[in-house]
Structure 1
Amino acid sequence: MALRLQQTVKYLILSLFTFLSIYPVFLMITSSFKTKQEITTHPLGLPSSFSLDNYKEVWEKVHFSEYFVNSLYITAISVILVLLVSSMAAFYVARYSFRWNGMVLFFFMLGLMLPMKLAISPLYMMMLKLGLLDTHLALMIVYVAGHISFAVFVFYGFFRTLPKDLDQSARIDGCNDFQVYYKIVLPLMRPALATVSIVDSIGIWNDFFYPLIFIKSTELGTIPLGMLTLFGEYDTDWNLLFCGLTLSSLPLIIAFLFASRQFIEGMTTGAVK
């Protein structure tokens, strides 16, 4: 009896936290179908009709398609580069012993301690001298440099859990160092890859600071910059703003649903095989 009561209380608490987590998303989606007047008069109620007029307007008025493509392009290229560079760096540091092994790892860990936003002035001057201001390449460089440290930290811990007998067996079969990484280790990295991909994608996709600094052209802007146009000096189009937020959240929600199993496994078990 006591065990059943304990389980009931546990599920009630979990249901409460689930509701608190999901309700803001539900409210955002329902508000995207409301008119501006309905949001003001009935902010927590359901819309009177489920029309796509708001979505059509935000797609045309804010040029959301351009911002969406820009954000998708920048996020995809940046995450791929982070996964490629950091996984190879962590593999080398974790699987090979050399004199400066600890110093190299400490160098990567410094990125977790020192936020890049403190160096925004030198970064801006560097991009200016390189002629990269108002380009997507400037954002990609900053994002890759800023997210490598976290990725190396995750991958290094993952590689330490894998027995080195796998490497030795592969080398006996004729694999070189890169083939060991590509054919043996990489297929086992799916939980770690999913974890880093989702965490970095969220950070890059939702970033507002760096596009505001480095991007000046409207056609090169990202979704957070596009949402800024909906905030007026004296008034705000809340219905269009909720539409934009809903559209910008869909790719991340879909990506998490597809990779949720690997993500949870990577976060909880550290990808121990």
Structure 2
Amino acid sequence: MTSSTARSWRPLPNIGRIWVHTVLCGYAIVALFPIALILINSVKSREAIFDNPLAFPTVASFSLTGFEKVLTNTNFMLYFGNSLVVTLGALVLIVLFGAMAGWALSEYTFRGNRVLTLFLAIGIMIPIRLGTVSILQLIVTLNLINTRTALILVYTAQGLPLAVMILSEFIRQIPKELKEAARCDGVGELKIFFQIILPLIRPAIATVAVFTMIPAWNDLWFPLILAPGDDTKTVTLGVQQFIGQYATDWNSVLAALSMAVIPILILYMLFSRQLIRGLTSGAVK
């Protein structure tokens, strides 16, 4: 085979890139299809939903009945506020305590360092729902049943192991010269942590935020067990009142889900750039 023939058989350099983008676009379509279906059918009449759920709303099928029922006949804004407080509260605690624990495990050498790291790794592998009975007994003992504080504490415990593992790995990649130079200038450990470490690990914080806020926002298990009261219901628990044994108000269900998914989409768009940097920085380094 001549050299010219060999060159003609070489695959085009753009084929691999085109294939990767095709697969990613296909996955994006599959992932976004349920969300788009919810948003489209939330502004359609009940008859139009069952006649053709894939069709876009028309002048004849357009209806805001579901949103009217949700906003006027229920305490949806209270449920929405509860979910927001619980998710953001847990997120702040997870990021703060996770970064502090990651800083301690990666920066300081002490007896039990590896054991504690292994203990946190086990927390990632074992689902927290296996300890539901013990958690419920503890919450009752602390008199925190039917409170948002109970949910914040549970979600914080649920997200801390993963947060510590991610943040500690990013903290280890920070050059030691920065920390040693700050110590030579007389800067305290807390100032080093808040003024040097935290700004440098923003991609990791965004990664942790995305991976922890979505399970907390979408969770139904712990709100149903720990905070089922009318004043402490979350969005996911409040939507269940539209689902009956024999009949389901799909207009209200889809409208409530549409309003519930919007904050997650907004937060994801805000953190998306930092999330991508956090996921790819380890591979680049």
Decide: shared fold, TM above 0.5.
Answer: yes
Give 2:134's aligned residue.
122
Identify the residue that residue 42 of structure 1 maps to in structure 2: 52
Give the length in aligned residue pairs. Answer: 273
**C-alpha distance in 2 between matches for 1:268 and 1:13:** 19
Deviation string for 1:124-143 (max 9, x for gaps)? Answer: 11111211111111111111
Q: Could you report, residue by residue, the CA deviation over 1:171-226 in whole angstroms, capped at 9, with x for unpaired residues?
A: 11221111111111111011011011111110100010000001131121000101
Aligned residue in 2 for 1:26: 36
The question of 1:190 aligning with 2:190 is answered no
* 1:1-273 alignment runs, 5 A limit: 2-3=11-12, 7-49=17-59, 50-270=62-282
The alpha-carbon deviation at position 11 of structure 1 amounts to 4.2
Tell me the distance in 1 between the aligned counterparts of 2:66 and 2:73: 10
TM-score, structure 1 normalization: 0.94
Distance 1:5 1:91, change over 3 A: closer
Structure 1: 4+ residue segments shifted above 3 A: 4-15, 49-53, 270-273
Q: CA deviation at 1:259?
A: 1.0
Change over 3 Å in CA distance of 1:69–1:16 after alignment to 2 = same
Shift of 1:7: 5.0
Unmatched runs of 5 consecutive residues or more in structure 1: none
Structure 2 CA distance for aligned equivalents of residues 107 and 131 of structure 1: 28
Question: Mean Cα displacement is larger for which, 80-89 or 109-118?
Answer: 109-118
CA contact (8 A) 1:95 1:164 kept: no
For residues 59-118 of structure 1, give each alpha carbon's deviation from its aligned partner in whole angstroms, at most 9, with x where no partner exists: 222321010000001111111011111110110110111122111212222211222211
Pairwise CA RMSD of aligned residues? 1.9
Q: Between the two proteins, what is the percent identity of the paired residues? A: 34
**Contact kept in structure 1, 2:45 and 2:63, CA below 8 Å:** no
Which residue identity lines up with residue 201 of structure 2 in the other structure?
M
Q: For residues 7 and 87 of structure 1, what CA distance do their matches in structure 2 show?
A: 36
Where in structure 2 are there 5+ consecutive unaligned residues? Answer: 1-7
Secondary structure at the counterpart of residue 187 of structure 2: coil
Q: How far apart are the structure 1 equivalents of 2:19 and 2:188?
A: 55
Matched residue of 1:229: which SS? helix
Change (3 A) 1:242 1:125: same
Question: Which has the higher mean CA deviation after the structures are superposed, 97-106 or 255-264?
Answer: 97-106
State the distance in 2 between where 1:16 and 1:137 align: 41
C-alpha separation in 1, matches of 2:196 and 2:143: 41
Distance 1:9 1:198 in 2: 27
The whole-number CA distance in structure 2 between the counterparts of 1:271 and 1:184 is 23
3-state SS of 1:220 partner: coil
Larger Rg: 2
Task: Quote the Cα distance in structure 2 between the aligned partners of 1:69 and 1:162.
Answer: 38
Distance change in 2, residues 1:15/1:81 (3 Å):
closer
